Structure 1
Amino acid sequence: MKAIVLAGGSGTRLRPITHTHAKQLVPVANRPVLFYGLEAIAEAGIRDVGVVVGDTHAEIEAAVGDGSAFGIEVTYLRQEAPLGLAHAVLIARDFLGDDPFVMYLGDNFVLGGITGIVRGFAERRPDAQIMLTRVPDPRQFGVAELDSGGRVVGLEEKPARPKSDLALVGVYLFTPVVHEVIAELKPSARGELEITETLQLLLDSGRRVDSTVISGYWKDTGNVADMLEVNRLVLESLEPRQDGVVTDSEIIGRVVIEAGADVSCSRIVGPAVIGAGSVIRDSYVGPFTSIGDRCRIDASEIEYSIVLRDAAISGVGRIEASLIGRDVEVTPAAQTPRAHRLVLGDHSRVQISS
């Protein structure tokens, strides 16, 4: 069995971070989301992996390399434009050959991995296998309809009136028969080759599409709230470790302080991770916070947040539920006159307390 991992796309919901950063490489617990997916594929026993890349290909390739760090062998497949999930399968046709395969969306996070579903697919060998989870607002997702026996009878992409609350999780398994369907597929109204339509056409032609409703944790890390929630979840399983220097500070709970980090006159309450080379002075770092490499936190408080590498936060009081990008500087405004001075990029989101 092979796998393709989708690591293209523009990541519009995470702008402005993704103006300069591949969305699949935005970190949770100081590791890119994409890495968790690659590890899940390796744990499922799949070694031959095609990574579908777009405009951010250079950054993805630099981070992933040849795949040996994950125990896999990577082939890069260039998608010239984000023309749909089924289009990614189309351009991977030569790589996939006649093998069954997993398609994994590189910005998705599935707690517990995919080993069980891959094993079940190999044993039962349906034409396709999908993973589903119940969501509060299925209008934002591909939605599956099941009959009274639990069989898949229909699928729709972002329906205005969903027939169920079962959303497609970003992991799909296919036999080579899917290539016949995709070869005949026409672009949807939004100009994409849709994977939901592909699955529906498989059903319409009498092919077998199995489903598994997962009760565990799944997130599409396409927005800040979901990134912070996945960060929280990963940090929950953190094993404490102190490789950096800690002076006159209080370390409480599960905290990782990486080599080269320097914490002084501060209070760190875990689960939290302080990246290599970071400096924390006279500050409070609260639970569910990831501080990236070479950051500086000075006379400030931060909790339930992600801070990317080389950022600096100084003297700004308390920060919560925030995603702070690389090389960002956060400093206090002048006391008089009382005003906020902002330099914001396109698609920024700012909340200011009065």
Structure 2
Amino acid sequence: MTSTDAVILVGGLGTRLKPLTLSAPKPMLPTAGVPLLTHLITRIRDAGVTHIVLGTSYRAEVFSGHFGDGAPLGVELEYVVEVEPLGTGGAIRNVAGRLRGDTVLVFNGDVISGADLPALMAVHEQADADVTLHLTRVADPRAFGCVPTDAEGRVTAFLEKDPDPVTDQIHAGAYVVKRSVIDSIPEGRPVSVERETFPGLLAAGARVMAHVDAGYWRDLGTPGDFVAGSADLVQGIAPSSALPGPTGPALTLPGAHVDPTATLRGGATIGAGAVVGAGAVVDGSVLFDGAVIGDGATVTRSVVGFGARIGAGTVLDDVVIGDRAVLGAGLELRAGARVWPGAQLADGAIRFSAG
């Protein structure tokens, strides 16, 4: 089976990733050398689906300005702007006028996944399902809503977060839907597919199936997950055909300058035009284009924004540095610290952590 359409929901504000998302929507943040959304679009294309509708809202023009009609990626892209927040279900209903087929793949735009999309679509077709969910198993499901299934793979419930979950299966942000289900979603008001649409289908006796996939999966909603996801892509742990270079310990984009005595490891990405000074260490981190890392500085599991400058000997560990921020020499920032765009911290022995 080949689905005619895919819908990607990219309207979120990315609040947990501030200050990175002050200048760009989360799906457009550089992730292993390209916008995060590029990895998902190419996965969808590789599964044989080439008509993709983006449900946008925040900074909608950034998406169309970068991807255009999608031709360079071998797809046909359309854009629908959500003027008022409509929730996941409302956002899907909002793009219904652009859909062409009877079956639609729907994705959250902030997930990296290695799920087998053809297998997901095959389960949907073979079961003649109304909805087929991609489920993944997580070590600690308490932070997620859980989705139990029966022996035939049929979904039996949608459960809210629980300190004692009945299953380790969670909704992984991708599903196949019959067009008739989308048309049944109320128009013009907020609707949650997880809390309203899917439970309503179960209550009505609809056939809601699940495809449990053990492949790679990560929600990039937090800075820690964003950095880890990017590093996994660079190292080939997470699959993607959009990586702009070979997999390995680091990815260095064109125009970057890395001193021969510097160390790059852990899936680090060095953005175009970035500079890494003598003796510096960049470990599992993302340097956006034009970032400058001073001599002897250490950057671990962190994000350094566009054009930001990090002074000699400064230590960054699990922090976010906003665009164009300037940090002096000899500083130490750890444990979730965030520096806003354009901020300046003078030289010194400052020790700071978010905790």
State the TM-score, normalizing by the size of structure 2: 0.82
Q: In proportion to residue count, which structure has more strand?
A: 1
Structure 2 distance, partners of 1:139, 1:293, is: 37
Structure 1 distance, partners of 2:138, 2:354, is: 31
Residue 310 (str. 1) matches residue 307 (str. 2): yes
Structure 1 distance, partners of 2:139, 2:260, is: 44
Q: In structure 2, give the amino acid aligned to 1:278.
A: A
8 Å Cα contact 2:130-2:207 kept in structure 1: yes
Q: CA shift at 1:313, angstroms? A: 0.9
1:170/1:21 Cα in 2 relative to 1: closer, same or farther (>3 Å)? same
Aligned to 1:232: 231
1:179/1:281 Cα in 2 relative to 1: closer, same or farther (>3 Å)? closer
Q: CA shift at 1:233, angstroms? A: 0.9
2:92 aligned counterpart, secondary structure:
helix
Structure 2 distance, partners of 1:4, 1:172, is: 10
Greater shift, 63-72 or 49-58, is seen at 63-72
Percent identity, please.
27
Gaps (5+ residues) in structure 1? 243-252, 335-341
8 Å Cα contact 2:325-2:339 kept in structure 1: no
Give a deviation string over 1:97-147, Cα, whole Å, max 9, x none. 552101111111102552332344344431111011223443543321223
1:283/1:80 Cα in 2 relative to 1: closer, same or farther (>3 Å)? farther
2:86 aligned counterpart, secondary structure:
coil
Q: In structure 2, give the amino acid aligned to 1:88.
A: A
Q: CA shift at 1:231, angstroms? A: 1.6
Gaps (5+ residues) in structure 2? 238-242, 332-337, 342-350
1:58 aligned counterpart, secondary structure:
helix
Q: In structure 2, give the amino acid aligned to 1:105.
A: N
8 Å Cα contact 2:234-2:251 kept in structure 1: no
Which consecutive segments of 4 or more residues in structure 1 shift more than 6 A? 238-242
1:258/1:226 Cα in 2 relative to 1: closer, same or farther (>3 Å)? closer
Equivalent residues in 2 for 1:134-283 (5 A)?
Answer: 134-158=137-161, 162-183=165-186, 192-237=191-236, 254-264=249-259, 266-270=261-265, 271-283=267-279
8 Å Cα contact 2:96-2:183 kept in structure 1: no
> Aligned pairs, how many?
329
Aligned to 1:68: 71
Structure 2 distance, partners of 1:309, 1:110, is: 26
Aligned to 1:352: 353
Aligned to 1:131: 134
Q: In structure 1, give the amino acid aligned to 2:256.
A: A
1:47/1:220 Cα in 2 relative to 1: closer, same or farther (>3 Å)? same
Structure 1 distance, partners of 2:213, 2:20, is: 30
Structure 2 distance, partners of 1:217, 1:241, is: 20
Residue 42 (str. 1) matches residue 37 (str. 2): no
8 Å Cα contact 2:255-2:274 kept in structure 1: yes
State the TM-score, normalizing by the size of structure 1: 0.82
CA RMSD of aligned residues (A): 3.0
Aligned to 2:91: 88
Q: CA shift at 1:76, angstroms? A: 0.4
1:152 aligned counterpart, secondary structure:
coil
Give a deviation string over 1:267-323, Cα, whole Å, max 9, x none. 223343322222222242333233222221112121233323322111243222233
